[in-house]
Amino acid sequence: MSDVPALGLLLDVDGPVASPVTRSIAIPSIATDIVALANAGVPVVFNTGRSDQFLKDEVVGPLVEGGLLPHARVFGVCEKGGSWFRITPTGAGDLSIDESLFPYPDLVTAVDDLVTERFADTVFFDRTKRTMIAVEQRLDVASDDYLAQQSVIDRAVIDLCTESGLGTMWRNERHPAPDGSISIRLDPSIISTDIESVRVGKDFGAERALTLVAASGPVPAVWRTMGDSRVDYAMADWLHAADYEIAHVDVRPADGVPEKPYPVLTAAAALTNDAAGAVFLRRWASRIVEGTAPDDHPA
């Protein structure tokens, strides 16, 4: 694949690719179209807060079964840049981990105990994470019930961090350590809260993603990013600052669309999350396979 691809894709997983209800690829065309785009030479990177195990369980299989070809450049950048691997026709490649991001062992234990003792009826402790801590809504718990408890759980975690002398950021609040430092960010989504290093983020993941793409072949000048939360705009921000031509797809714009120096794309008002993601992927796949420019206005 010597020619520079017409497009590159940087995709959040929960929301635009995996259903936030089933936590899996629930719309078959999503995997079909991602495979078609990758086989046509488009680099595809999943830039997610999810663990490598989640991607292996829920994303890799459908792509392999969909006929991913050896030349396809598909990567998983997990835990917002903390770990990464290539996805090949035979499955997941070797995993790399940024060991400098390993969470504090005592805090891992404390959060695990907190979930078990106080919140096990609402959330579970995600044991697949390697470079961060996460608590996630149980599948048998209604979204409204989880969201009503999320802030209570988050504040209990902040208290644990404070007791351990660790400074935290959460929403618009800052809780510095005694020395004034902040090392941990709590990043809530509609189904979970990640407790992570302040170094990671969707921009950190985007930088990691472009490094992987550049090491594997030509880097497109044109990129599309896709996500379901405000933090996902950070990957488009990073690409824009690096002088790539970028547009961002927001699959849940009702949460508020910020002013940006690049186009922000949305689907029809009734379509959100993976239903909206599927529409854009289908349109891009149709255009790229035809050999024409990506079309950002899905029918």
* pLDDT exceeds 80 at position 296: no
User: Percent of the chain beyond pLDDT 90?
Assistant: 92
Q: In terms of DSSP bridges, do strands 96-97 and 83-88 run parallel, antiparallel, or are they unpaired?
A: antiparallel
In the predicted structure, residue 297 carries a pLDDT above the cut 70: no
pTM beyond 0.85: yes
Report pLDDT digits (tens) over 170-184. Answer: 999 999 999 999 999
Quote the percentage of the chain above a pLDDT of 70: 96
User: How confident is the model at residue 211, as a pLDDT?
Assistant: 98
Give the model confidence (pLDDT) of 117-144 as tens digits.
999 999 999 999 999 999 999 999 999 9
Per-residue confidence band for 16, with pLDDT thresholds at 50, 70 and 90: very high
Closest CA to 29 of 282, 274, 276: 282
* Confidence (pLDDT) at 123: 98
CB 26 within 8 A of CB 277: no
| 261-288: pLDDT as tens digits | 999 999 987 899 999 999 999 999 998 8
Rounded mean pLDDT of 194-216?
Answer: 97
